[in-house]
Homo-oligomer: A and B are copies of this chain.
Amino acid sequence: MKVAILGFGTVGSGVYDIITKEAFPFYHDIKIEKILIRPNKTKTLPIMTDFIDDIINDNDINLVIECIGGINPALEYITAALKNKKSVVTANKAVIANNLETLENLARENGVFLSFEASTAGGIPWLASIEKARRVDTVSHFYGILNGTTNYILDTMDNNQEEFSTALGKAQELGYAEADSSADIDGIDVKNKVVISSAIAFNSIIDVNKILAFGIRNISKNDIDYFKEKNFSIKLIGEAQKIGNKYEALVIPNLFPRDSIEANVRRNLNIVTLQGDTIGELKFYGQGAGKLPTANAVVQDILDIHTEKVQHTLNTDAIIEYCDFLLKNKYYLRINQKIQNDLIENIEEFNGFYYHYTKDLTIKELIQLTDIFKMTDTNLFVIKER
């Protein structure tokens, strides 16, 4: 199989490193024909080009590996490759979460494949595992730690009794967090991953804008301490649950007992759980990002296409729909004042902050309540009790 790599940053060069190692079992089967680099970069290899048409119009290339990241021009290149009957493998969660239906239809029309294992939970074989579970079971629920940056921040705050800004600074120093970290800390990255996981788990495309995401931007050392006293750890969780032909999805910090598995997932690691009707709970743990783990997931997708182990599983005639009043749950809302509200069961003060423990709420009610609380204190922190 002849392939081209678009982009030669962390992931692109990682894919190159794996495929060109002689010890790689498929070393003789997969040949990198071309690599797209930016016009301002030096061509360090003869197969490098800065002209996308060299790749899109090369009929020898059957598969394009998109490792550029961001929406444009990645989306444009993926679209052009599929139209030219090249399969596409990508790690690009933003492109996939926002365009999965269109791109999957395009792949199908052109008799090629679109694979994106590396987009969600990095090196963990997560999407493939959901797909496999679904061969036997209905997958009714999934949840997990899907963002390594925020897990690193929360773990560091918890271990070192640090404030959010200090822990974020460390994450940035280590290269876990970008200079603009809002996609991570506001839960946007996890939202994309929940959309992608839901597509595989429930065979249904959600509008990414429908999903509510609470991040960890407003978390304080005081919050960590308050919940630690109650024997809880805080983890940012993306999850979705299906009942009958309806499902709901949410991104929000969660409280886990300190002797649970999730509470003990350290540093920037990820863990994701699926629930099937006969298999029960399966958990998958590993590196959610990083050069070689992500590249490994990309190469696994390439091998599935190469060995014809892949199929179009996404049935876009979705018969289930998103619903924000499916399930009820209890939450804590922390602000700098006491607010009385019918949906609040109990209020506790801790170092001058007020922890409002809610009654059982639907997501819809939670949105209504947080909208009211935000008017009093924009630094509102919201967390879900599991």
Stretch at the interface among A215-223, A294-302, A355-363: A294-302
Q: How many copies does the complex hold?
A: 2
Q: Does A282 contact B (CB under 8 A)?
A: yes
Stretch at the interface among A3-11, A132-140, A171-179, A192-200: A132-140
Sampled A-B contacts (13; CB under 8 Å): A18-B136, A25-B134, A123-B279, A124-B282, A261-B265, A263-B264, A279-B286, A280-B292, A280-B293, A281-B286, A282-B284, A282-B285, A284-B284
Interface bits A265-295 vs B (CB < 8 Å: 1, else 0): 1000001000010111111111100101101
Interface bits A236-265 vs B (CB < 8 Å: 1, else 0): 000000000000000000000011110111
Q: Please tell me if the beta carbons of B300 and A26 are within 8 angstroms of each other in the complex.
A: no
Majority secondary structure, A binding face:
mixed
Write the nearest CB–CB distance from A274 to chain B, whole angstroms. 9
Q: Does A23 contact B (CB under 8 A)?
A: yes
Q: Does A129 contact B (CB under 8 A)?
A: yes
Q: Please tell me if the beta carbons of A136 and B24 are within 8 angstroms of each other in the complex.
A: yes
Select from chain B the residue with minimum beta-carbon distance to A290: B280
Bound-complex Cα distance A285 to B293 (A): 19
Q: Which residues of B lie under 8 Å from residue A138 when comparing CB positions?
A: 23
Choose from B18, B26, B135 the contact partner of A278 (Cβ within 8 Å).
B18
Q: Please tell me if the beta carbons of A261 and B278 are within 8 angstroms of each other in the complex.
A: no
Q: Which residues of B lie under 8 Å from residue A24 when comparing CB positions?
A: 136
Additional 17 contacts, C-beta under 8 A, given A26-B135, A280-B287, A281-B287:
A14-B278, A23-B138, A24-B136, A124-B282, A125-B129, A125-B282, A135-B303, A136-B303, A258-B259, A259-B264, A271-B283, A278-B292, A278-B296, A280-B286, A283-B285, A285-B285, A309-B309
